[in-house]
């Protein structure tokens, strides 16, 4: 069982790591999708079928397409391409920001008291998940939907551009 | 059950048990899984082969020509001749192509389309994988194939195939939404995401002779129609076949493919068509249930096969009948017509679910309201969408 988990973890970490180092952004995106599939495999390993298939449907099917469209259709102006290596100040600030987020996450994980699971994990049928989502947690589901809609509208506004002065072409 | 199940119904189980009895106990789980996979591959591989033949024969008949009739008796061996030809053709990879992705795209496409066969109940006892969230699994496997289309278009380093891949993706994403929305009513009514439970919920007869299939309700009919249109588009079938419109767009994202990889794309397309047809049978046409009680002696998998073949022949007939859409007509049809209709259908099924407790006397009213909820938006939106488009005038051809 632990060997399977180790293989899944290796798949997730290796694909994410290689995706970060590649210069070709389309290959990075495809490796990122491999990472998402790995996360779905982890959910399957943990016995959460519903979440695993939802992960594949949403991330593998939809979000990956959005990312690919964004990568390929965004206008690559001369200023937008980072051909030269980034200045050291940017590298330092990137490392600081990434390290801060990683530290916060690691601290949160380390400080959470994880009680050892008592007995077998509870089996959650899909019907049970549906009842929980639409009765008990309906308000938070609606809030998440509203936030995502606002984010989508913001994305459309940003992508549509400001005005006619941007129509000059590269 | 008053009498034992007929022998034909149990025949696949008996065959499996006979194979199992020959093996030691620890190997049985593996052999069972392997048998499932082998049977699915064999049956759908042969179905694919003869479906290509049937398609060419039926298209030929509709267009008043004989179709393939040289290999074998009346052309029966044509698919195998085609297979040998495809296997022995040269496999060309462009020099600047991305070799890994160029190879992985057809493999991923076929793998994902084969995966979706696992959860369809083919008969009372014929189901490879009985999952609580099987319908979700089916559509997750289908959604993953979009990535393979992109990989095929991008890896060839050909701007035409890349443009075609983006066009194909726009189509696949547009029709994903009505496809997913159209099966939600079925899930709402049967209260389950498991295909076998959905089929069981459609058992029995109204008034003793009308089957309780979902397609015979107002919301089910609308959902079935939306599902079929969307699955035509998802499997790149005519009239939505412009991802690889071979007569005008040099096969789209398949431009840089040749030989057996090219054949694999077509295999995946036919597999996808069979899987979506099978899911349509499961969700709307009662799955393996017989249409009349006295026809129950025919084994359930034969009913499933008959319904699936009828749907596939319908696909072929549509291909012979309708001309290809333009990309703007295609996306407009999805976003301005199918998606709103599918959303209205959710309201209809909500009403149907809530009015289930009405007394029998109100049944005509219940049906009338539900039919009105389906027909009025259809007519209103159809008129708005087609306003200003007709009647067509033929300025040059009419002389």
Q: Which residue has the higher pLDDT, A142 or B254?
A: A142
Alpha-carbon distances, residue B135 vs A57, B121, B186, B266 (angstroms) = 11, 11, 11, 24
Give the residue extent of every domain in chain B: 97-382
Extract the residue ranges of chain A whose pLDDT is less than 70: 1, 73-86, 116-124, 159-170
Q: Is A135 within the bounds of a domain?
A: yes
Give the mean pLDDT of B223-229: 93
Residue A31's Cα: distance from chain center in Å?
12
B309-351 pLDDT, tens per residue? 999 999 999 988 888 888 888 888 898 899 999 999 999 999 9
Across chain B, mean pLDDT equals 85
What pLDDT score was predicted for residue A101? 93
What pLDDT score was predicted for residue A118? 61
Name chain A contacts of B140, Cβ cutoff 8 Å. 53-54, 56-57, 60-61
What pLDDT score was predicted for residue B345? 92
Cβ atoms of residues B111 and B277 within 8 Å: no
B278-301 pLDDT, tens per residue? 999 999 988 888 888 777 778 888
Tell me which of A147-161, B74-88, B209-223, B240-254 is least confident: B240-254
DSSP B98: -
Answer yes or no: do A30 and B146 touch at CB < 8 A: no
What pLDDT score was predicted for residue B173? 85
Cβ atoms of residues B258 and B157 within 8 Å: no
Give chain A's domain count. Answer: 2
Q: What is the CATH number of the domain that holds A58?
A: 1.20.120.1200
Nearest chain A residue (CA) to B136 = A53
Domain closes at, from A74, A94, A112: A74
Cβ atoms of residues B150 and B112 within 8 Å: no
What spatial distance separates the first Cα and last Cα of chain B, rounded to whole Å? 70
Q: Which residue has the higher pLDDT, A167 or B15?
A: B15
Q: Is A95 within the bounds of a domain?
A: no
What pLDDT score was predicted for residue A86? 66
What pLDDT score was predicted for residue A106? 93
Helix (H) or strand (E) holding B375: helix B363-385
What range does the domain containing A136 cover?
124-159
What pLDDT score was predicted for residue B225? 93
To the nearest whole Å, the CA of B137 is away from the closest chain A CA by: 6
Determine the residue among B143, B153, B167, B175 to mutate to test chain A binding: the one whose Cβ has the most chain A Cβ atoms within 10 Å. Answer: B143
> What b/e sequence results for B59-81 when a residue is b if at least 16 CB atoms lie within 10 Å of its CB, and e otherwise?
ebeeeeeebbeeeeeebeebbee
Phi/psi at B206 (5° precision): -75, 140
Give residue ranges of B with CB < 8 Å to any A CB. Answer: 98, 101, 131-133, 136-137, 139-144, 146-147, 150-151, 154, 162, 166, 169, 173, 176, 191-194
Name chain A contacts of B165, Cβ cutoff 8 Å. none
CA A55 – CA A63 distance, rounded (Å): 10
Q: pTM value?
A: 0.84
Nearest chain B residue (CA) to A60 = B144
In percent, the amount of chain B with pLDDT more than 70 equals 96
Answer yes or no: do B144 and A61 touch at CB < 8 A: yes
Answer yes or no: do B176 and A126 touch at CB < 8 A: no
Phi/psi at B122 (5° precision): -85, -20
Tell me which of A156-165, B148-157, B270-279 is least confident: A156-165
Alpha-carbon distances, residue A118 vs A42, A114, A121, A122, B352 (angstroms) = 21, 12, 8, 10, 43
Answer yes or no: do A61 and B154 touch at CB < 8 A: no
Q: Is A99 within the bounds of a domain?
A: no
CA B351 – CA B10 distance, rounded (Å): 40
Name chain A contacts of B132, Cβ cutoff 8 Å. 49-50, 125-126
Q: Is A103 within the bounds of a domain?
A: no
Nearest chain B residue (CA) to A48 = B133
CA A46 – CA A123 distance, rounded (Å): 11
Q: Is A63 within the bounds of a domain?
A: yes
């Amino acid at each position: 069982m632990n060997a399977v988990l180790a293989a899944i973890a290796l798949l997730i970490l290796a694909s994410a790591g290689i995706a970060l180092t590649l210069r070709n952004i389309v290959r990075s995106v495809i490796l990122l999708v491999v990472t998402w599939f790995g996360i779905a495999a982890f959910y399957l390993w943990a016995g959460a079928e519903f979440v695993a298939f939802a992960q594949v449907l949403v991330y593998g099917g939809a979000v990956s397409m959005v990312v690919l469209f964004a990568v390929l259709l965004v206008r690559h102006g001369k200023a937008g391409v980072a051909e030269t290596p980034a200045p050291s100040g940017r590298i330092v600030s990137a490392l600081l920001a990434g390290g801060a987020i990683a530290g916060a996450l690691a601290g949160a994980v380390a400080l959470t008291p994880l009680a050892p699971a008592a007995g077998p994990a509870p089996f959650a049928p899909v019907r049970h998940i549906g009842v929980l989502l639409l009765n008990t947690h309906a308000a938070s589901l609606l809030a998440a939907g509203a936030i995502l809609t606002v984010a989508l509208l913001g994305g459309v506004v940003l992508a549509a551009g400001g005005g006619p002065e941007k129509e000059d072409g590269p | 059950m008053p009498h034992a199940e007929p022998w034909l119904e149990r025949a696949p189980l008996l065959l499996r048990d006979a194979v199992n009895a020959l093996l030691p106990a620890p190997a049985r789980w593996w052999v069972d899984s392997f048998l499932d996979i082998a049977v699915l591959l064999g049956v759908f591989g042969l179905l694919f082969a003869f479906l290509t033949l049937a398609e060419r024969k039926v298209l030929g008949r509709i267009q008043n020509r004989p179709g393939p009739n040289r290999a074998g008796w009346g052309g029966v061996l044509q698919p195998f001749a085609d297979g040998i030809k495809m296997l022995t053709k040269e496999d060309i990879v462009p020099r600047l192509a991305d070799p890994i992705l160029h190879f992985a795209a057809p493999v991923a496409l076929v793998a994902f389309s084969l995966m979706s066969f696992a959860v369809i109940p083919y008969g009372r006892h014929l189901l490879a994988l009985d999952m609580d969230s099987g319908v979700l699994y089916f559509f997750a496997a289908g959604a993953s194939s979009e990535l393979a289309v992109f990989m095929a278009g991008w890896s060839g380093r050909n701007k035409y195939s890349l443009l075609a891949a983006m066009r194909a993706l726009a189509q696949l994403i547009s029709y994903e939404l009505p496809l997913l929305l159209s099966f939600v009513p079925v899930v709402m009514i049967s209260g389950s995401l498991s295909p076998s439970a959905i089929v069981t919920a459609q058992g029995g007869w109204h008034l003793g002779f009308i089957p309780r299939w979902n397609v015979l309700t107002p919301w089910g009919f609308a959902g079935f129609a939306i599902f079929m249109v969307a699955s035509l588009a998802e499997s790149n079938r005519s009239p939505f076949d412009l991802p690889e419109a071979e007569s005008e767009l040099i096969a789209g994202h398949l431009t840089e493919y040749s030989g057996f990889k090219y054949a694999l794309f077509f295999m995946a397309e036919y597999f996808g068509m069979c899987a979506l047809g099978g899911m349509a049978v499961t969700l709307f046409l009662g799955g393996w249930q017989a249409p009349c009680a006295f026809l129950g002696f025919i084994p359930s998998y034969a009913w499933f096969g008959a319904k699936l073949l009828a749907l596939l022949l319908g696909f072929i007939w549509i291909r012979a009948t309708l001309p290809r859409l333009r990309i703007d007509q295609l996306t407009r049809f999805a976003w301005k017509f199918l998606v709103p209709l599918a959303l209205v259908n959710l309201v209809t099924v909500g009403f149907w679910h809530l009015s289930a407790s009405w007394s029998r006397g109100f049944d005509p009213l219940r049906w009338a309201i539900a039919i009105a909820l389906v027909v009025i938006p259809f007519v209103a939106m159809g008129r708005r969408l087609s306003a200003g488009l007709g009647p067509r005038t033929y300025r040059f051809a009419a002389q």
